[in-house]
Amino acid sequence: MTIKAPITTTLDVRLKELFDQTKSIHGKDMSSILNESVADFLKEYCPIEIFDLEIQQKEQELQELRKTKDEAIYAYEARQKELQKQKKVEVETDSFLDDLRNKKFSKNIDAVLKQLQAGRPPNWKNLAPLYQFASERDMKEWFFAKMNEEGITV
């Protein structure tokens, strides 16, 4: 953590000029040099306090990381619960559609068989919405697969 604090100091003009001239080499400003100098000074004269300060900073960073991790875990678990709910709804919908289609199949198979045996194709266009299919092709595929499953031949 850093703060801006105005500091008034006395500095040898020649040192300041030399520092400014070599700025392109070292790439530092007075603030960073002052921070490094104070840290070096404190490490030499009160190292235990510096260690304590560094430990506090690292612990704070760890707390922030743990908080971020906890938030990520919470978001992941919430997403997983939502996916499970969606899957449950899909399974219930699929189960409902299977039951509906099977009942309609049992009810309409005789009429469809008569049409097929007479050489007339059933009106798949009208049957598709009745069985909750989006297209005639899907309806035909399901219907013939169901006939094969039931052992019904034309």
pLDDT score at 60: 95
Cα 5 from Cα 41, distance rounded (Å):
19
Give the position of tokens 């989006």.
134
Answer yes or no: are the C-beta atoms of 130 and 104 closer than 8 Å: yes
- The single residue listed with the structure tokens 């875990």 is 73
pLDDT for res 71: 96
Nearest to 142 by CA among 101, 92, 107, 109: 101
**pLDDT on residue 79:** 94
Residue 112 near residue 122, CB atoms below 8 Å: yes
Q: Which helix (H) or strand (E) holds 30?
A: helix 30-45
Short-list 137, 116, 117, CA closest to 128: 137
Residue 103's H or E segment, with its range, is helix 47-117
Cα distance between residue 112 and residue 120, in whole Å:
9
Predicted pLDDT at 87 = 85
- Is the whole-model pTM more than 0.85? no
The pLDDT value given to residue 1: 66
pLDDT tens digit at each of 154 positions of the chain: 677 888 888 888 898 898 889 989 988 888 888 888 888 888 888 888 888 888 999 999 999 999 999 999 999 999 999 999 888 877 777 788 888 899 998 998 888 889 988 988 888 888 899 888 999 999 899 999 999 998 888 7
Both tokens of 22, joined, read 């070599």
Q: Which residues, 6+ apart, have CB-to-CB distance to 2 below 8 Å? A: 35
